Structure 1
Amino acid sequence: MFDIQITGTNIRYADGGISVVHVQFQGHDPERTVSLSGYIPLTSEEYQGNESIPALKNIVRTKLTERLQPEAE
């Protein structure tokens, strides 16, 4: 399983509220032979209530898995 670390968040505002949050991350496998880094954009709704680091790690892990294993079209 990949070890995911949240390295930052970039919150963008529009019309007095949050419009999007970019959650920056780094990750690697246990042997450190594969590494990933980047950001996952979250909507205001996805971010609110999930501001804690453990919650953001779970969201990043889920979204990474979805991108790495897309459903067959």
Structure 2
Amino acid sequence: MGMHQYLQSLSNLETIHRAPGYFKYEEHSVAAHSFKVTQIAQILGDIEENAGQTVNWRALYEKALNHDYTE
């Protein structure tokens, strides 16, 4: 996959509606969901860091942002 195709596919995530199942309170795109997951991951990372753990922020953000890329 070329760089242009990869970046285009990331942009397409904004137009794909996510269907989380029975407990669906609001419609949102895959991109919006990934952003919400990243916000939660940041909070959890802060908690871990304040508890004295070392957090690999780059890996945390990459995993949180891209966890649903295949959708």
TM range (shorter): 0.3 to 0.5
Question: Which structure features the higher share of strand residues?
Answer: 1
TM-score, scaled relative to structure 1: 0.32
- TM-score, length-normalised on structure 2? 0.33
Instruction: Indicate the structure (1 or 2) with the bigger Cα radius of gyration.
Output: 2
Greater fraction of residues in helix: 2
